[in-house]
Chains A and B, each alone.
Chain A
Amino acid sequence: MILLWGTADDPPLAAVAAALDRRGAAHVLVDERAPVPASTRFRFGDRLEGRVGPLDLDTVAAAFIRPQGVHLGTVRGAEQARLHACLLAWTELTPALVVTRLSAQASNTSKLWQAVTAREVGFEVPDSLATTEPAAARAFVDGRSGVIYKSLSSVRSIVRRLPPGERDRLEDVRACPTLFQAHIEGVDHRVHVVGSATFATMVVSESDDYRYDQASERVAVELPGEVTDRCRALAEALALPVAGIDLRRTPEGRWVCFEANPAPAFPYFEAGTEIADAVAALLDGPPPAVTGAGSATPRG
C-alpha cells in the first residue's frame, strides 16, 4: 500500500495519485483537511504501530508526503493537529520509503547549509556573504559586477539584484544578518532527481527570479553526465529521494548550484507526466534506472 498525505488538490500530490492510478498501484490518501477518521490510534515507544481509520500503517510500503500543517492553516483543531503530529513522528520512524521525511526536507531551511553539501559533492556554488557588518557588505558588493540578495532561510523571498543606487541601504544590515550572493550570469536549469532518474529542464527567463516571471519558458534538455551524477550525489547526500535542484550554466560552460528543493512542485516543469510517473514508479517498487530529458513542450 502507498500512503499519500497532504491535500488532494495539491498539484504534485494529485499528479502522483494519477500516476499511481495509471500503474494500477494501490494507494490511499490521508487528506489533512478531512475530519480525523474513527479508530485512529498510534503506539510509540516499545513498538511502532499506527492506524488511520481503516488503514493499518504496517501495510504501508511507501509514502509520498506533502503536509502543509498548522502554520498554513490546512490543519485546524486539536484532533487534526494530533493526527498531524503522530503521522509526522511515524514517517520519521517507519522503515517504509518516505518521499520525503521532514527531517531531510529541513536542509532547505538554511541555504548556506545546503551550499556546504553541494560543494562537498563537487558543485561550484556562488560566493556568498551573510553579514551584519555594513563595511563587509560594501566590500563584497564593490568587488563584483553584480550582487543579489535573498533570504538565508526557507522563508520565501524574491531574489533581487542590488541596484547601484541602493548601496547606501547596506547600512541596514546591522540589525539582522543579510545574505548577499555574487550574481552568476547564465541560464537557469532545474534538475529533478527521482531515485536514480534525472529530468533536466532549461528555464529561459529575463528575470532574476524565474518563479515570478510569467513569460518564462521551460524546455527539456540533456545535461552532461558528470552534472547529472553530481545532482544524484547531492540528492543522496541530503537524503532526498526526490529533489528539484537549481543550477545555472554560465556562458563559459560552468555549472553553478544554488539549492536543492526537497519538495519540488514538479508539475510546473513537466508538460507530460514523466516526472510524476517516475515518482510513482519509485514509490511502487525499485526506482527506474533511466536518465533522460523531460518533455520539450513548455507549459504555462
Chain B
Amino acid sequence: MIVVLAHAGDADARRLAASWPRGEAVLLTPLDLTRPGWIVAHPGAPGSFVAQGRRRATAAVRGAVVRLGTVDADELTPVVEADRAYAAAEVTALLAFWLRTLPRGPVNEPSPACLAGPAWSAVEWLTRAARAGLATGAIEVTVGASPVPPDGPAGRGSGGTRVRVTVVGERVLDSPAPEVLDGPLLALARTAGVGLMGADVAAAGGAWRLESVSLCPRLDRPAHREALADLLARRR
C-alpha cells in the first residue's frame, strides 16, 4: 500500500492516489487524524493508521508521498475551534514520527518542521541551489527601506520563458536544458534528501535561471505520476 498524505483540497493528490497502478494507493488527509484507529507505539511494532476513513495496518505501507509541510488547524474541523491550533501541532508531531519510522518511508525524507522535506525558506533553497551549480542570480533584500520580502524577491520571474521541471528520483522531467540543469538539480535534491521536487526555471539572457523550488509540485500529467509509481516500485 502506498500512502499519499495531502491536504483535503489537493486535487493532484486525489488524482495520484486514484490512478496508482493496481489501486494500491490510499489518500490520507488531516481529517483522518481525527478518527479512531491510530495506534502508534514506541518502542513497539507498527500499529495502525486511518486513511480514507478506514483503519489500516502500518506494516502494509510500502511507501509514501507527502504533499503537505504541516497540518493546518482549519482542516481539523471535528476538533473544537479553540483547540485546533494545539491539535494541528500534535498531529503534525505524530505524523513526523510515523513517517520517519515507516518500514518503507516517504519519497522525501521528512523533517520535524516539514513533513514533505527540509523546512527551507525560498532564499535558503536558492542559495543552496547556487551552491549546487544552478544559476540563481542575486536576491538582495534591504530591510528598513525597500520592501522586498525574502520569500518573494521582486523583479524575478518577469518576462522570458518559464518552465516547470520535476525531479522524480534520478529522473528530471520536462527539462528545457538537460546538459545544464539536470546534474545540479539532482545534486540539490540529494542535498535536500528528497526524491520529488519541482523547480521553476526561466530563460534569462541566454541562460536558465532557477526561480523557485517546491516540495509539493504539480503532478498533473500522467508521465509525472507514472515516474513516481515507478520510483516507489523500484524502492521495494
Say whether A and B bind each other: yes
Q: Taking the complex as formed, is A155 at the interface, i.e. its CB lies under 8 A from any CB of chain B?
A: yes
Q: In the bound complex, do residue A36 and residue B144 qualify as a contact, i.e. CB atoms below 8 Å apart?
A: yes
User: Could you say which of B36, B101, B113, B144 contacts A38, with CB atoms under 8 Å apart?
Assistant: B144
- What separation, in Å, do the CA atoms of A246 and B83 have in the docked complex? 28
Give the residues in chain A near B36, CB-CB below 8 Å: 132-134, 174
Q: In the bound complex, do residue B90 and residue A40 qualify as a contact, i.e. CB atoms below 8 Å apart?
A: no
User: Could you say which of B87, B118, B124 contacts A176, with CB atoms under 8 Å apart?
Assistant: B87
Assess A106 versus B139: contact at CB under 8 Å? Given A152-B90, A176-B79, A177-B33. Answer: no
Give the residues in chain A near B93, CB-CB below 8 Å: 109-113, 151-154
Chain A, 32-58, CB within 8 A of any chain B CB: 36-38, 40-48
Q: Taking the complex as formed, is B141 at the interface, i.e. its CB lies under 8 A from any CB of chain A?
A: yes
Q: Taking the complex as formed, is B34 at the interface, i.e. its CB lies under 8 A from any CB of chain A?
A: yes
Among the stretches B59-67, B147-155, B215-223, the one at the interface with A is B147-155
Among the stretches A14-22, A78-86, A267-275, the one at the interface with B is A78-86
Q: How far is the CB of B143 from chain A (nearest CB, A)?
A: 4
How many residues on chain A are close to B (CB under 8 Å)?
A: 56
Give the residues in chain B near A48, CB-CB below 8 Å: 127
Give the residues in chain B near A98, CB-CB below 8 Å: none
User: Could you say which of B38, B48, B124 contacts A93, with CB atoms under 8 Å apart?
Assistant: B124
Q: In the bound complex, do residue B144 and residue A113 qualify as a contact, i.e. CB atoms below 8 Å apart?
A: no
Assess A131 versus B124: contact at CB under 8 Å? Given A112-B93, A113-B93. Answer: no
User: Could you say which of A38, A45, A78, A106 contacts B126, with CB atoms under 8 Å apart?
Assistant: A45
User: Could you say which of B35, B42, B128 contacts A116, with CB atoms under 8 Å apart?
Assistant: B42
Give the residues in chain B near A127, CB-CB below 8 Å: 41-44
Which of A36, A119, A152 is the most central at the interface, judged by chain B CB atoms within 10 Å of its CB?
A152
- What separation, in Å, do the CA atoms of A2 and B124 have in the docked complex? 22
Q: In the bound complex, do residue A130 and residue B124 qualify as a contact, i.e. CB atoms below 8 Å apart?
A: no
Assess A46 versus B137: contact at CB under 8 Å? Given A41-B143, A85-B121, A152-B90. Answer: yes
Assess A129 versus B40: contact at CB under 8 Å? Given A41-B141, A175-B78, A176-B79. Answer: yes
Give the residues in chain A near B86, CB-CB below 8 Å: 151, 155
How many residues on chain B are close to A (CB under 8 Å)?
A: 58
Assess A113 versus B100: contact at CB under 8 Å? Given A92-B124, A155-B90. Answer: yes
Give the residues in chain A near B123, CB-CB below 8 Å: 44-45, 86, 89
| Chain A residue at smallest Cβ distance from B70 | A109
Chain A, 173-198, CB within 8 A of any chain B CB: 174-179
Q: Taking the complex as formed, is B111 at the interface, i.e. its CB lies under 8 A from any CB of chain A?
A: yes
Q: In the bound complex, do residue B150 and residue A79 qualify as a contact, i.e. CB atoms below 8 Å apart?
A: no
Q: Taking the complex as formed, is A103 at the interface, i.e. its CB lies under 8 A from any CB of chain B?
A: yes
Q: In the bound complex, do residue B112 and residue A44 qualify as a contact, i.e. CB atoms below 8 Å apart?
A: no
Give the residues in chain B near A129, CB-CB below 8 Å: 39-41, 44
Q: How far is the CB of A137 from chain B (nearest CB, A)?
A: 9
User: Could you say which of B40, B43, B147 contacts A130, with CB atoms under 8 Å apart?
Assistant: B40
Q: How far is the CB of B37 from chain A (nearest CB, A)?
A: 6
Chain B 76-102 interface mask (CB, 8 Å, partner A; 1/0): 101100010011011111101100110
Q: How far is the CB of A112 from chain B (nearest CB, A)?
A: 4
| Chain A residue at smallest Cβ distance from B129 | A45
Q: In the bound complex, do residue B127 and residue A85 qualify as a contact, i.e. CB atoms below 8 Å apart?
A: no
Q: Taking the complex as formed, is A88 at the interface, i.e. its CB lies under 8 A from any CB of chain B?
A: yes
Q: Taking the complex as formed, is A63 at the interface, i.e. its CB lies under 8 A from any CB of chain B?
A: no
Q: In the bound complex, do residue A89 and residue B150 qualify as a contact, i.e. CB atoms below 8 Å apart?
A: yes
- Nearest 9 pairs of A and B residues by beta carbon: A112-B97, A106-B113, A153-B93, A44-B123, A110-B93, A153-B89, A152-B93, A45-B136, A45-B139
A-B contact pairs, 17 of them (CB 8 A): A36-B143, A40-B142, A44-B138, A45-B138, A46-B136, A82-B147, A86-B141, A89-B121, A93-B124, A112-B97, A115-B42, A127-B41, A127-B44, A130-B38, A132-B38, A154-B93, A176-B87
Which A residues lie at the B interface, using CB under 8 A?
36-38, 40-48, 78-79, 82-83, 85-86, 88-89, 92-93, 102-103, 106-113, 115-116, 119, 125, 127-134, 136, 151-155, 174-179
In the complex, besides A45-B137, A129-B39, A177-B94, 20 extra interface pairs with C-beta distance below 8 angstroms are A36-B144, A37-B144, A38-B144, A40-B143, A41-B143, A42-B143, A44-B138, A46-B138, A47-B138, A82-B141, A106-B111, A106-B113, A106-B119, A109-B112, A110-B112, A113-B112, A127-B42, A130-B94, A151-B86, A176-B91
Which B residues lie at the A interface, using CB under 8 A?
33-44, 47-48, 50, 76, 78-79, 83, 86-87, 89-94, 96-97, 100-101, 111-113, 118-121, 123-124, 126-128, 130, 135-144, 147, 149-151
